[in-house]
Chain A
C-alpha cells in the first residue's frame, strides 16, 4: 500500500458527461501528479500540483482541469467526455523539491469507461 488513495475505483459514464476523480496524497507529501494510462499511449503525465499551486502541465486536454485543496487532496475534472477518454487515471504524490529526484508513489487508480 503506497499510502495514496483514489476514489472511485471504477466509473462508467456516457459521452458528453462530466466526472470528478479524487486523490489523497501520502501523509506529508505536498506534491500531487495526475497521469492517464491507456493501452496505446502508456502512462502520460497530465499535471502536477505543489501545495495548492499548479507547477507543470503535460498532455492535458482543455476539457480536463485539476485543483489541489488546502488539505492537499486533489481532484481531476473531466468534462465533455469522449470515448477516447476511457483509461486508467493515476494519482501520485511525492515530497517534491525544485531539483533532484523525488520518488513518486502511485495510487491504485480510477478506471474510467465512457460509453
Chain B
C-alpha cells in the first residue's frame, strides 16, 4: 500500500466550477500537508501548506485536513483555464528531515 493515494483523474470541468481534489494517506505521523501545482513539463510549485488538522484559505483555494480520517482536500472556487495543471498532494512528518511523500497527482483541465 502506498503511503499517499491520489486519484489521477483526469478531471475536466467548465470554467467557474468548484473543483475538489483529494488525497488519503496511511501514516498517522504526517503533520504537514502540502498542495503543489505542476504545469506540463515544469517543476512543481507550492500552492498551500497546512499544519495538522483544519482549514486554510488563500484566495480561490481552500485546503482541508481531516487527520481522523487521514484525508486531505483542495478546493478551487471559480476555476479558471489557467488552473489547468496537475495537482500533487504531499505530506511529511515533524522529524524526517523534511522528506516529502507525494501523491501521484490529479490532472485538471478547466474548459473555457
Give the residue of A4, A43, A55 whose beta carbon is less than 8 angstroms from that of B97. A55
- Residue A58 is within 8 A (CB to CB) of chain B in the complex: yes
CB nearest neighbor in B for A44: B102
Inter-subunit contact A42/B104 (CB<8 Å): yes
Number of interface residues of B (CB under 8 A): 26
| Cα A9 to Cα B101 with chains together (Å) | 24
- Residue A48 is within 8 A (CB to CB) of chain B in the complex: yes
Minimum Cβ distance to chain A for residue B5 (Å): 10
8 Å CB contacts to A: which residues of B73-104? Answer: 88, 90, 92, 94-104
- Residue A56 is within 8 A (CB to CB) of chain B in the complex: yes
CB nearest neighbor in B for A88: B41
| Cα A109 to Cα B97 with chains together (Å) | 22
Are A106 and B94 CB-contacts (below 8 A) given A42-B105, A43-B105, A45-B101? no
Neighbouring A residues of B49 by C-beta, 8 Å: 101, 103
8 Å CB contacts to B: which residues of A65-110? Answer: 90, 92, 94, 96-109
Inter-subunit contact A98/B51 (CB<8 Å): no
Neighbouring B residues of A94 by C-beta, 8 Å: 98
Inter-subunit contact A101/B88 (CB<8 Å): no
Question: What 0/1 pattern do residues 33 to 66 of B give for CB contact below 8 A with A?
Answer: 0001000011111100101000000000000000
| Cα A102 to Cα B98 with chains together (Å) | 7
Inter-subunit contact A108/B42 (CB<8 Å): yes
| Cα A19 to Cα B45 with chains together (Å) | 26
Minimum Cβ distance to chain A for residue B88 (Å): 6
Neighbouring A residues of B51 by C-beta, 8 Å: 101
- Residue B32 is within 8 A (CB to CB) of chain A in the complex: yes
Are A107 and B43 CB-contacts (below 8 A) given A98-B95, A101-B32? yes
Inter-subunit contact B44/A100 (CB<8 Å): no
Minimum Cβ distance to chain B for residue A7 (Å): 14
Minimum Cβ distance to chain B for residue A33 (Å): 8
8 Å CB contacts to A: which residues of B5-35? Answer: 6, 32
Give the B-binding residues of A (Cβ under 8 A).
2, 4, 31, 33, 35, 40-45, 48, 50, 55-56, 58, 90, 92, 94, 96-109, 111
